[in-house]
Amino acid sequence: MAESRKGHCIALSPARKMVIEFLHHGQQVPSLPLSKVMRIDALVDARKAGADASWTSIFMKAYGLVAQKLPELRRAYIPYPWGYYYEHPISECVVLLEREIEGEYAVLGGKVREPESRTLGKIDDDVTRLRTAPVEEISEFRNWLRLGRLPWIVRRLAFWIGLYWSGSMRAKRFGTFAISSLGNLGVEQYHPISPLTTYLTFGPIAPNGEVTVKIIYDHRVMDGRCVARALNDLEEVLNTLIRAELNALIGTSIPIQKIPA
């Protein structure tokens, strides 16, 4: 008997339906990527010396600190009932990460609130929990999958209300910025899309501390020069405030030099 070449249909899981919905709204955003090659060799050395903090936590806190100085990073464009900007008082970060659900790998988003005011250790505890705790124990994941099981029109309405009607609701449900990285797999993202105002990502970190850091931004909210300043400030914060905190974790007091303008 000849071998059958006919394929088969695979139903969309709730997690995949939510990724599709997330991308649908991300496509509505006129986003642009801007990147900068940074040198963070002092942070690489501190982690080798025993400073226990993930790169995701390090970049998240640094970005939150930059957003204190640049309020545009905490703003969102709200088109209804009329177009205006909403500015949130703090940063709320959505960590996009891969989890396995019933034999399928899927991207889920968990929130870390106000990273700029928390220690790297506390942030790392939250990130580790999002990566390792059972999916059903994390409320954001449960809500995400619950919505994915509802009819598509309900998902579309829930996203529409959450993203476009109320700025405070948008920050609470979706965060003020997203972060993810494939750098540990040796891969750099070029232009990921998201409905949020900014999306922070970074590529592989070389042994000498060289890394490409990228911000994908909503051009309706800010322009390229603002994002360029944010990237420059981010490198400075990483090599000063974050470096000092990592040094404290390993009990050293290496002098900190301000990066030249």
Q: What's the pLDDT at 44? A: 95
User: pLDDT-based confidence at 260, cuts 50/70/90?
Assistant: very low
190: amino acid identity, one letter: Y
Ordered structural domains, the chain, with CATH? 14-249 (3.30.559.10)
Residue 173 is classified by DSSP as: H
Span 196-229, pLDDT tens digits? 999 999 999 999 999 999 999 999 999 999 999 9
Walk across the sheet containing 210-218 and list its strands.
31-39, 210-218, 198-202, 177-180, 92-101, 104-113
pLDDT tops 70 at residue 232: yes
Global pTM reads: 0.92
Under 8 Å between Cβ of 248 and 53: no
Rounded to the nearest integer, the mean pLDDT of the chain is: 93
Token pair for 56: 């995701």
pLDDT tops 50 at residue 154: yes
Q: What's the pLDDT at 252? A: 63
Higher pLDDT, 260 or 233: 233
Cα Rg of the chain (Å, integer): 20
Token pair for 45: 């050395």
Q: What's the pLDDT at 217? A: 98
pLDDT tops 60 at residue 34: yes
Span 92-148, pLDDT tens digits? 999 999 999 988 999 999 999 999 999 999 999 999 999 999 999 999 999 999 999
Chain-centroid distance of CA 243 in Å reads: 21
User: pLDDT-based confidence at 188, cuts 50/70/90?
Assistant: very high
120: amino acid identity, one letter: L
From 7-11, 173-177, 178-182, the region with the lowest mean pLDDT: 7-11
Chain-centroid distance of CA 101 in Å reads: 21
pLDDT tops 50 at residue 261: no
Q: What's the pLDDT at 259? A: 37
User: pLDDT-based confidence at 51, cuts 50/70/90?
Assistant: confident
pLDDT tops 70 at residue 4: no
User: How far apart are alpha carbons 249 and 164 in whole angstroms?
Assistant: 42
